[in-house]
Homo-oligomer: A and B are copies of this chain.
């Protein structure tokens, strides 16, 4: 009751979104710093990995895979194409354009992998195995809670 008067604006510190964004900003900077030597950003890493593993994929399908907006992925591909890390090739369906990793893309990915693994290890160590595992599980629950 007294708490209500002292906190007329509500507990912003309980905001799920703020907590997620703060953690995202923090971790993104860590990973970007780790990846800096290879010239790849952590936001570009999953795109290259997916292109390498799932073969040439249409934009919409990779967007779904990475839980991102189609148009966001469309924009995010531009730097990768400019650097010749991926190329867009036509599909059977002429509306589709498939994202295909290039040889240069594979090279930069090879260079990125040990740096990424080190960042993974650093975070894992900082949080401890229990917390890290639990966090990854819970984050997946959040993502899956989307109304789709």
Contacts and interface: CB of A to CB of B under 8 A. Distances in A.
Interface of A: 9-10, 12, 14-31, 42-43, 45-46, 49-50, 52-53, 66-69, 109, 113, 116-117, 119-120, 123-124, 126-127, 131-132, 134-136, 138-143, 145-147
Contact of A45 (B12, B28, B31, B50): B12
| Copy total for this chain | 2
A69 B23 CA distance: 13
Contacts of A43: 21
Nearest to A137: B131
B141 A12 contact: no
Contacts of A23: 20, 139, 142-143
